[in-house]
Structure 1
Amino acid sequence: MSSKALTSVYDIDGKPPIKEAVPLAFQHVLAMFAGNVTVPIVVARGIGVDGEIGFLIQCAMLAAGIATLIQAFKIWKLGAKLPIVMGTSFGFVSTGIIIGNTYGLSGLLGACLIGGIFEAILGFFIKPLKKFFPPIVTGTVLLTIGLYLLPTGINYVAGGVGNPEFGAFKYLALAGVTLVTIVLFNQFGKGIVKMSAILLGIIVGYIVAIPFDMVDFTRVANANWFGFPTPLRYGLSFHWEAISAMLILYIVTAVETVGDISGITIGGAGREATDDELSGGVIADGVGSIIGAFFNALPNTSFSQNVGIISFTKVMSTFVVKIGGVILILAALVPKFGEVIAVMPASVLGGAAVIMFGSIAVMGIKLISSQPLGNREVLILAIALCLGFGFGTVPNALNAFPQSVQNIFGGSGIVISFFVTAILNAILPKEDSKDGFDIGKTLDHSA
């Protein structure tokens, strides 16, 4: 097969053979599965409905599968037609618990529904807002996402937050086995083996963990073989206080999605995202959350770890993530299958996360440096990263502000990075190119 033909198979419209597409799809599912099911677990426990956890996990998987298919297929303006894998957003956890404790699941899901409508409408205005998303802005957002995820990856490596043996050598060793396996397959493998390196590393890590009694299959044995998530099981109710808090968080989600889409096109295709891709992606984000609300799931958004996979493998085929979406739906309908993935040790995912999350940060750097970096750009980047990543990792520094403000600007710090970069980029005068500092030329001369 010629190199041109080989490339086309893995392009956006390419269709790899099923024997390749299925493993590549499983690679995406395994990468996001833990994050997708963790959100409903945390929220359910936070609002005292532990008995609903199994059902809410089913709902989360079904919503993620449907939303992923929407992004990949693109109908009219709905969807980016990019390999975007969707999942339940961590960004809504703290606010979701507060709303759930105040208004119950019906009030929480009602606010999610209205917020999804709001984000879908917002997506139609991405094109006139595109001027606020130059490479310095989207690159900084992407870099902040990557940096913010790094501690999460290390938490996985050490065994997962809440693990009584957190940081034990066995978890570090298991993550190391997974990481080394991925590197070996990626560097010395060829074809599908090279592209499936993350999947193969996770499988090897999973298998190694079993004889060391690091996997508990009790949940698998107790899970049902079949079950369908009943729509509107908890009903919908609407409360302005809950809705207003959600609307602001949906703006955050839209910003993250813009960053993820930019990361996919830069990391997988070496180009910037088009207006239609950004607009369609944000619209689909909102519609996915609307559908999720009907199926008792929290808001959906693009999953950044899967952006790292695309950067690592260069596989842009939407056919692959369509299969991934189908796998997620099947996991929702067959709970026992989903539990097999859910009981995977966190440190196995941690070994893969080191590469996936690091790749996101590197893509941000790549996007930022795609244009000459003058003193102005360095100043913008320095301030945005310090404030964004700083407040994101030290959210208590915002204790002087109301809880609603802390929920928006604390946590990941992505919103702060976005607003600081966008505002400074808009108001600071641009330098003459002759006075700028071109990092690319500087590196060439130093070499």
Structure 2
Amino acid sequence: MSEAQHLGATPEQLRDPDWTPSIEKAVPLGIQHVLAMFVSNFTPSIIVSLAAGYAFGSPDMVYLVQMAMVFSGVATLIQTVSIGPVGARLPVVQGTSFAFIPVMIPVVKTAGMAALFGGVVIGGIFHFLIGTVIGRFRNALPPLVTGIVVISIGLALIPVGIQYAAGGVPLMGKPEFGTLQHWGLAIVVILVTLAAKFFGKGMVSTAGVLIGLLAGYLVALAFGMVSFARVGGAEWFALPQPFSYGFEFNIAAVIGMCLMAIVSAIETVGDISGITKGGAGREATDREIGGGTMADGLGTAIAGVFGGLPNTSFSQNVGLVSMTGVMSRHVVTYGAIFLIVAGLVPKVGAVISTMPIAVLGGGVIVMFGMVVSAGINMLSDVHWNRRNMLILAISLSVGLGLQAVPESLQHLPATLKVLLTSGLLPATTLAVVLNLVLPAEATDAKAA
């Protein structure tokens, strides 16, 4: 049975963002969107928590996980329902962004959480302002640039996944690091995820990473590696608290968040274009691109006030729209409401925070690898002549090289060093600048 027959809709209705399926059919579709992004959404909060020195299951980690759910739901509502011109009015799912992690980790370690959230709020406002003009610069962001950006995000994060799978940063240099006990859990997660993705159907396949994490979690539970000591003390309901971690203006954090806002905006342009192409067979309008980018920024600024991390549109949900063929933004609205409700229950965050780090490591290896794959897929539309190959080569070589050898910049000021050794910012800057200044080759068969 086709999706149109199942939903009792015409093909034209399926391609219409304003069409609303009946509630008994819309809610499962909305939950499916939540399952597709659930793990990716709270993972950055755990990574930042660990960088800040918070223990697994600690109240600070639980709160950050809680805020990730609440404000991804809030930001998604801004996208689907919209506030005037703010919001794409498309089935865009917002979630905590992986892209900011390479900048957030050094900021947290060197300047603290108050500086981080000061940067998040100011960066969100800057991101909002980008949305007011980004429609004029769409031609400067072809698949060559967006693909390099997305690949750089994934490659910059993969070492984090390996560290977690081996036992986590606190164990590095110790005999426990890299033992079979840790790697075994990560491998279980990876294998079960692959089995669910390739042999499961429907929601089982869509939620493959979540099912893999649950399998690894159950194995860890059976071996006594999970502690629920802190879950009992978690509340059943709690509202977000403004400026829970303070607010501090730190130049490195502000510059880093503002520059990453540009990267995130580029990613959002690609995601919104992917939704309209995959779900409706058309190009995104300037209004949708601008409104979606402004919603990114507004959602991030609001989240930062309450202790939520920067959010962006989620690429995995773009693929889900293409797979189901359902363009209804109201379907995603139901998913957003579910996220907000779950985030207001701290016990949910407390249970998530009991997950052993090696289990999380197996999941993020898959997720970060899929980010790289998504970038490679974007580059499939690029005509690979010498010009474009050089842009890719130089951007990735410099960006990833500086991240791998941060000592090479030891004579630079601290702020500049933090920004350049993220890997992502120099790679993105080079990709954008080189694409603008290098002349196109006469033999180009299609636009890069």
Aligned-residue offset at 1:298:
5.2
What is the distance in 2 between the residues matched to 1:186 and 1:268?
25
Q: Is the 8 A contact 1:312 1:359 kept in 2?
A: no
Maintained 8 Å contact 2:269/2:293: no
Q: CA deviation at 1:219?
A: 1.8
Return closer, same or farther for 1:214/1:397 CA change in 2, 3 Å cut-off: same
Q: Which amino acid aligns with 2:27?
A: I
Contact 1:117 1:290 in 2 (8 A): yes
Q: Are residue 198 (structure 1) and residue 209 (structure 2) matched?
A: yes
Paired AA for residue 73 in structure 1: V
Q: Does 1:92 align with 2:104?
A: yes
Flag the 1:61–1:175 CA change in 2: closer, same or farther, 3 A.
same
User: Among 397, 408, 412, which residue is 2:408 paired with?
Assistant: 397
Runs of 5+ consecutive residues of structure 2 not aligned to the other structure: none
Q: Choose the corresponding residue for 2:130, options 100, 122, 128.
A: 122
Distance 1:312 1:187, change over 3 A: farther
User: 1:40·1:60 contact (CA, 8 Å) conserved in 2?
Assistant: no
Give the C-alpha shift of residue 348 in structure 1.
2.8
Cα distance, 1:124 vs structure 2: 0.9
Superposed displacement of residue 328, structure 1: 3.9
| Residue in structure 2 matched with residue 2 of structure 1 by the alignment | 2
Aligned twin of 2:45: 36
Alignment of 1:201-212 (within 5 A): 201-212=212-223
Inter-CA distance 195–119: structure 2 relative to 1 (3 Å threshold): closer
Displacement of 1:308 in angstroms is 4.6
Match of 2:187 in 1: 176
- Contact 1:24–1:196 at 8 Å: present in 2 too? no
**CA displacement, residues 57-115 of structure 1 (integer Å, 9 cap, x when unaligned):** 544543333223323433333234343332274333433555548xxx3x765554333
Letter in 2 for 1:430: A
Structure 2 equivalent of residue 258 of structure 1: 266
| Counterpart residue identity of residue 222, structure 2 | P
1:145 to 136, 153, 178: 153
Which one of the candidate residues 57, 71, 86 is aligned to 1:63?
71
RMSD: 3.6
Matched, 1:418 2:428: yes
The one-letter amino acid paired with 1:223 is A
Percent identical residues: 32
- Superposed counterparts of 1:13-412, under 5 Å: 13=17, 17-19=26-28, 21-22=30-31, 24-40=33-49, 42-43=51-52, 55=63, 58-80=66-88, 81-87=90-96, 89-90=100-101, 91-96=103-108, 98-100=110-112, 105=114, 109-163=117-171, 165-232=176-243, 239=249, 242=250, 245-259=253-267, 261-262=269-270, 265-266=273-274, 275-295=286-306, 297=307, 299-302=309-312, 306-308=314-316, 311=319, 314=323, 322-411=333-422
Q: In structure 2, do the counterparts of structure 1 residues 234 and 155 end up closer, same or farther at CA, with 3 Å as the change threshold?
A: closer
**Matched AA of 2:430:** V
Q: Give the aligned partner of residue 444 of structure 1.
A: none
Over 3 Å counting, the alpha-carbon distance change for 1:168 and 1:291 in structure 2 is: same
Report the TM-score, using the length of structure 1 for normalisation.
0.80
- Aligned AA (2:106): S
1:379 maps to amino acid = L
Listed one character per residue, the Cα deviations across residues 159-215 of structure 1 (whole Å, up to 9, x for unaligned) are 333246332212222222222222222222223333232332222222222111121
Determine if contact 2:166/2:183 at 8 Å carries over to the other structure: yes
Task: Tell me the distance in 2 between the aligned counterparts of 1:337 and 1:406.
Answer: 38
CA contact 1:44–1:53 (8 Å) conserved in 2: no
From the superposition, tell whether residues 215 and 52 of structure 1 become closer, same or farther in structure 2 (CA, over 3 Å).
closer
Q: Which moved more, 1:368-377 or 1:309-318?
A: 309-318
Q: Deviations over 1:371-413 (max 9, x none)?
A: 31111111111111111122233333222211111222221x2
Give the Cα separation in 2 of the matches to 1:351 and 1:51. Answer: 24
For residues 108-143 of structure 1, the C-alpha deviation after alignment (integer angstroms, 9 at most, x for no partner) is 655543332222112211112223211111111111
Higher mean displacement: 364-373 or 31-40:
31-40
What letter matches 2:95 in structure 1? Answer: M
User: What is the alpha-carbon distance in structure 1 between the residues aligned to residue 320 and residue 359 of structure 2?
Assistant: 18
Which letter maps to 1:174? L
Identify if the C-alpha distance between structure 1 residues 79 and 222 changes in structure 2 by more than 3 Å, giving closer, same or farther. same
Tell me, in whole angstroms, the C-alpha distance in 1 between the residues paired with 2:164 and 2:44: 11
User: 8 Å contact 1:25–1:324 — kept in the other structure?
Assistant: yes
Distance 2:364 2:253 in 1: 31
Q: Partners in 2 of 1:437 and 1:132 — Cα distance?
A: 15
Q: What SS does the aligned partner of 1:221 have? A: coil
| Segment of structure 1 superposing worse, 77-86 or 361-370 | 77-86
Aligned in 2, Cα 1:309/1:108: closer, same or farther, shift over 3 Å?
Answer: closer
Name the CA shift for 1:149/1:347 in 2 (closer, same or farther; >3 Å): same
Structure 1 residue 254: deviation in Å? 2.7
Tell me the distance in 2 between the aligned counterparts of 1:12 and 1:173: 46
User: Which residue of 2 is the match for residue 427 of structure 1?
Assistant: 437
Gaps of 5+ in 1: 440-447
Give TM-score scaled by structure 2 length.
Answer: 0.80
Give the SS at the match of 1:302: strand
